[in-house]
Amino acid sequence: MQFRSRIVGIGSYLPRKRLHNNDLQEMVDTSDEWIIERTGIRERRIAGEREAASDLGYKASKRAIKDAGIRPEQIDTIIVATMSGDMPMPSTATLIQGRLGARNASAFDINAACSGFIFGLGVADSFIRSGMSRRLLLVGVEVNSRFIDWQDRTSCVLFGDGAGAVVMEATRSKAGIISTHLHSDGRHWNLIYVPGGGSRHPASEATVRDRMHFIKMRGNETFKLAVRTLEELAVKTLKANRIKASELSLLIPHQANLRIIKAIAKRLDLPMDKVIINLDKYGNTSSASIPIALDEAVRNGRIRKGDYILLMAFGSGLTWASALIRW
């Protein structure tokens, strides 16, 4: 039987600071009721002044490595999914590698925005199936608060900070990553983006003045595309694996908007008690949202051996992705 990849350790980290909707009422023209009705979010975590992506990712990684019962030097690959890394270079993955003491690991970042963790899962699974890697650390981490325009009431209510990590190993068992499905459509890049700070608009007085270093998004258009695209992706993923929606034990969607999540569950005819939701506590943590939710589901005993789990995400790029796992 061919090798496949399996998650053998998991961990997450959330900053201590909580920013409640009532706090945002004092900052912009919004209300707790409006935010809950439109998004389902009640509060989010915000990284401390001295906390960067590598700090959050390191703490989540330590917990995942401990959960796996291994030593850092036993890891041969580290992949970090992030769009809010410490700096343009070096990669956040190498910073985490250095702090962990994972001296035998190659390390690199990927950026697929909110779909980043599942894109990373697809890359990690391919590495392990091909024999390029035998034991791998995959991290999803974001410090979105550094890129939020706190004067923009449509976007500042959405995002939070956090990190999640998994250790993956090669296995010949039936458990593990069954399939991943990765998609992109660059025609819609300008629905969610940060225009300043790159090679097209490098940092300058003008980019700072024009608030170009913050997240820009066209919410209504993004919402409509997300619902339609994720519904189609869910059906495609299940059909490709000859799995019925009723056979799923859990759906773990990207935690962006409660209305999107409910629409997908309805399309699959899944009861909401089979859907993991924690965006009310953490908001949209982008590439960190799925590993955080997965970690909580494991810790709370909601996942058992043999369960079928469907992961789904949609993000800037545009990107969208899914993964079917047998635990």
Q: Are residues 120 and 140 in the same domain?
A: yes
Q: Are residues 199 and 303 in the same domain?
A: yes
Which pLDDT does position 283 carry in this prediction?
97
- Catalytic site residue 156? no
Q: Are residues 155 and 210 in the same domain?
A: no
Q: Are residues 114 and 253 in the same domain?
A: no
Scanning the chain, the segments in alpha helix (DSSP H) are 21-25, 32-39, 53-68, 92-100, 116-130, 205-209, 219-240, 258-268, 279-282, 289-299
pTM: 0.96
Q: Of the residues 173, 204, 234, which one is the last residue of a structural domain?
A: 173
Q: What is the 3-state secondary structure (H, E, C) of 216-266?
A: EECHHHHHHHHHHHHHHHHHHHHHHCCCCHHHCCEEEECCCCHHHHHHHHH
283-307 pLDDT, tens per residue?
999 999 999 999 999 999 999 999 9
Average pLDDT, the chain: 95
103-151 pLDDT, tens per residue?
999 999 999 999 999 999 999 999 999 999 999 999 999 999 999 999 9
Q: Are residues 136 and 187 in the same domain?
A: no
Which pLDDT does position 220 carry in this prediction?
84
Q: Are residues 158 and 182 in the same domain?
A: no
State the CATH number of the domain containing residue 257.
Answer: 3.40.47.10
- Catalytic site residue 114? yes
Cite the beta strand spans of 62-201 per DSSP E.
Answer: 77-81, 106-110, 135-143, 161-171, 176-184, 192-193
Q: Which domain holds residue 86?
A: 4-173
Q: Are residues 158 and 90 in the same domain?
A: yes
Q: Of the residues 173, 204, 226, which one is the last residue of a structural domain?
A: 173
Low-confidence ranges of the chain (pLDDT < 50): none
Q: Are residues 168 and 188 in the same domain?
A: no
Which candidate in 21, 111, 156, 254 is catalytic? 254
- Rounded Cα distance, 139 and 106, in Å: 14
Which candidate in 21, 111, 144, 284 is catalytic? 284
Q: Are residues 118 and 253 in the same domain?
A: no
Which pLDDT does position 1 carry in this prediction?
56
Q: Are residues 169 and 206 in the same domain?
A: no
Which candidate in 21, 114, 156, 257 is catalytic? 114
Omega before 100 within 30 of 0, i.e. cis: no
Which pLDDT does position 302 carry in this prediction?
95
Which pLDDT does position 219 carry in this prediction?
81
16-33 pLDDT, tens per residue?
999 999 999 999 999 999
Measured on CA atoms in the order 202, 203, 205, 211, is the torsion positive or negative? positive
Q: Are residues 104 and 62 in the same domain?
A: yes
- Catalytic site residue 284? yes
